[in-house]
């Protein structure tokens, strides 16, 4: 009798492992989507930094540099988080373009349009970060949960600041 139960138990265990792997794959795919989105966002911020013109040049040139420098750190944290989950982070620009929720920008030299882009992009990133935060609870992934919480908190504050700046100039 035990001989008959063991193969069934092994079969159920294998099915459970396959289900966990499938769930983990889609979970990590969502984190890779966030990574890809940050990579495109990073390059858009670099373009804003290089191409800003007008009366707000000095203020925004420095701000864009601050933003892309911080984004570079976030990219590294997300990629290392994926590696910690024993998965492979996306690393080709062609993959970033396919998986990103943020599109490449044309050249933007107007300060108002640049800040509007940043504000909109950060709202898009927030949506994905909140989705990953919820998924991280399901997967009992404290590390990703903590990272997403930090990113969400930071982005909520900067979005408030960008919103205030945009209203100030209207």
Give residue 132's domain range: 2-169
pTM to 2 decimal places:
0.86
Would you state the pLDDT for residue 170? 43
Is a pLDDT exceeding 90 seen at residue 9?
no
- For 127-150, give one letter per residue: b (16+ CB within 10 A) or e: ebbeebbebbeebebeebbebbee
CATH number reported for the structural domain that contains residue 47 in this entry: 1.20.1260.10
Residue 21 CA to residue 129 CA, distance in Å, equals: 21
The DSSP annotation for 81-132 comes to: HHHHTT------HHHHHHH-SSPPPPP---HHHHHHHHHHHHHHHHHHHHHH
- Residue bearing tokens 């300060």: 111
User: Radius of gyration (Cα) for the chain, nearest Å?
Assistant: 20
**What is the number of domains present in the chain?**
1
Q: What pLDDT is stored for residue 168 in this prediction?
A: 58
Q: Which range, of 8-17, 61-70, 110-119, averages the lowest pLDDT?
A: 8-17
Is the pLDDT reported for residue 51 higher than 70?
Answer: yes
């Amino acid at each position: 009798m035990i001989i008959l139960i063991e193969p069934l138990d092994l079969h159920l265990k294998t099915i459970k492992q396959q289900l966990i792997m499938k769930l983990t794959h889609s979970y990590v795919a969502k984190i890779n989507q966030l990574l890809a989105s940050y990579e495109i966002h990073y390059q858009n911020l670099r373009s804003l930094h290089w191409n800003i013109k007008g009366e707000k040049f000095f203020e925004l040139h420095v701000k864009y540099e601050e933003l892309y420098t911080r984004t570079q750190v976030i990219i590294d944290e997300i990629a290392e988080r994926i590696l910690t989950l024993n998965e492979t982070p996306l690393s080709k620009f062609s993959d970033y373009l396919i998986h990103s929720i943020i599109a490449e920008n044309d050249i933007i030299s107007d300060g108002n349009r640049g800040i509007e882009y940043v504000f909109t992009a950060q709202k898009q990133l927030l949506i994905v970060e909140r989705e990953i935060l919820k998924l991280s609870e399901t997967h009992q992934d404290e590390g990703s949960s903590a990272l997403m919480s930090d990113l969400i908190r930071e982005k909520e504050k900067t979005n408030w600041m960008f919103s205030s700046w945009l209203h100030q100039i209207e």
